[in-house]
Structure 1
């Protein structure tokens, strides 16, 4: 599936237990109407995600499937990147993914070794798009200089309490998607008074307000995690919520910063 048809709401699939749940969860999501599914080697659920897609009535070509490799210690050495990519495809049970991310630019990430392996996967048709995750603007610049494939997306934590204005502007300037993981701050946005106020005004949930605010931004897509049909349906409904200019400005002006995913190896901690 080409990058210009990236569904702007996808399903995030990270969990730290019961990885097998994603077989049923992804099947439910596809049944509800999701067409974008995001996973990663380190999530240890790729086989279940792949089974769900294979068992679904939705054609593989209609599902935008993303995965990630090169975590902090996966693969053990940068030169193993090609094998790690093949491992992702094998576990997913697919010949290609629609998007392949470098998961973290940390520890054993060597751009001169890792990025050519991503280029090779792109040239061989193992991925239709190459993307990065958790990079800084400087590291994005460096990667774009090395990559032969166009940069299709950059995935980071982003929500009303971590607005990532610089990276959103970078995405627009360089014509790639900013894909927002943890777009609800794992629930932290629900307690923000501005979000609550806007939700009450529109008679919707704080989650829908937060997702609609992100979708009001140029070149932005979101991948909220959801395990129940009800929450999946509510998240998709955020596409139809039209916030007015005052709503958007009030959320833009939230004077609070909260980061849910904050490992020591994050580039913002270096």
Structure 2
């Protein structure tokens, strides 16, 4: 499995384990099992209410902490500097680590002091509490403002991205700025595998539809993916997606799929075309 490298020191395995909505013992078991299978990229957040469970898995695992890329985030109601600092300190305590590898603003919010929030984010990186920083769920206009106007040393952006949602604008911009793009909900909560075109490609290659959808993402430069999987079989299937070889005919079929099927858009989400 290859790692994505980007500006400001990011070195992140391309395939990771998403942990939402797992909690408690289910989450601990899933993370420990994933590490046993060779995963080295774990994604969590305070909003998932599972950081302590992830931390327990890290303690139980034989894999050294320095070999694991760990991402966590700060929720949109804690973007004031003091609250952001407290959020990260709480996360570090729950995870049982002195530093996370990537700390992200989970969602933008309305009527906030964006420069102060970004300044606080950068300060936490400079203090060594986070090796790298990034943002999640930022539309292109807001990402552009953070990267260009505020000159924030971002390493990554995390957004919903899959075969049914076009993110070319964000991806092109991320590449131009040397940022990695992490795709969450990479299987569109099961909708990707239900597409006739995806099933046709899977049958042709003798693989699972989910593996086709995942490999389409992983074949793209600068893109990581964090599918949630709790069972050993699904975790292994996602790792095995790396072996799938898609051809130009497959990619043409995928390109013809609808690209407007966003499945995560809560009422506090930003205007996606902003």
Per-residue deviation, 1:19:
3.7
Task: Tell me the equivalent position of 2:37.
Answer: 32
Q: Distance in 1 between matches of 2:10 and 2:245?
A: 22
Is structure 2 residue 112 aligned with structure 1 residue 89? no
Q: Distance in 2 between matches of 1:167 and 1:240?
A: 27
Task: Tell me the equivalent position of 2:57.
Answer: 52
Is structure 2 residue 208 aligned with structure 1 residue 205? yes
Q: Distance in 2 between matches of 1:8 and 1:147?
A: 28
- 1:68 aligns to what SS in structure 2? strand
Equivalences, count = 267
Is structure 2 residue 15 aligned with structure 1 residue 9? yes
Q: Distance in 2 between matches of 1:201 and 1:223?
A: 25
Distance 1:109 1:182, change over 3 A: farther
1:122-201 alignment, distance < 5 Å: 122-145=125-148, 150-201=153-204
Distance 1:223 1:145, change over 3 A: same
Is structure 2 residue 66 aligned with structure 1 residue 61? yes
> TM-score, normalised to structure 1's length?
0.93
**Do the aligned partners of 2:165 and 2:258 also contact (CA within 8 Å) in 1?**
no
Per-residue deviation, 1:107:
3.5
Gaps of 5+ in 1: none
- 1:121 aligns to what SS in structure 2? helix
Q: Distance in 1 between matches of 2:80 and 2:66?
A: 33
**Do the aligned partners of 1:157 and 1:261 also contact (CA within 8 Å) in 2?**
yes
Per-residue deviation, 1:108:
6.2
Per-residue deviation, 1:20:
3.5
- 1:180 aligns to what SS in structure 2? strand
Distance 1:256 1:5, change over 3 A: closer
- 1:6 aligns to what SS in structure 2? strand
**Do the aligned partners of 1:122 and 1:149 also contact (CA within 8 Å) in 2?**
no
Gaps of 5+ in 2: none
- 1:225 aligns to what SS in structure 2? coil
Is structure 2 residue 245 aligned with structure 1 residue 225? no
Is structure 2 residue 76 aligned with structure 1 residue 72? yes
> TM-score, normalised to structure 2's length?
0.92
Q: Distance in 2 between matches of 1:143 and 1:165?
A: 19
- 2:72 aligns to what SS in structure 1? strand
